[in-house]
């Protein structure tokens, strides 16, 4: 039995981060700006926290972050 991480470059800050590919939050971002036509991209924890603070300041619900979003997942198959 093993564990797996997904490594990604955050489209907002450019930092490399590890996450659980099944539960990491993602948003539609192109060139650092929300774009409803863009493909969803995984976002690092720091940027998700900042994005949620911005959403709350605008009266919007924060994006839910799974407790295991930035933890390893059991290796499948």
**What does pTM read for this prediction?**
0.84
Q: What is the maximum span of the chain, computed from C-alpha positions, in angstroms?
A: 44
Q: For 30-62, what is each residue's pLDDT tens digit?
A: 887 889 999 999 999 999 999 999 999 999 999
Comparing CA positions, the residue from 60, 23, 72 lying closest to residue 43 is: 23
Poorest-confidence range of 15-19, 35-39, 71-75?
A: 71-75
DSSP 8-state secondary structure symbol assigned to residue 53:
H
- The Cα 58–Cα 16 span in angstroms is 28
């Amino acid at each position: 039995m093993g564990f797996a991480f997904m490594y990604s470059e955050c489209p907002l800050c450019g930092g490399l981060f590890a996450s659980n590919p099944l539960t990491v939050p993602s948003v539609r971002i192109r060139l650092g700006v929300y774009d409803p036509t863009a493909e969803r991209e995984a976002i690092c924890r720091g940027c998700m926290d900042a994005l949620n603070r911005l959403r709350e300041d605008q009266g919007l619900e924060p994006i839910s972050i799974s407790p295991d979003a930035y933890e390893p997942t059991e290796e499948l198959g």
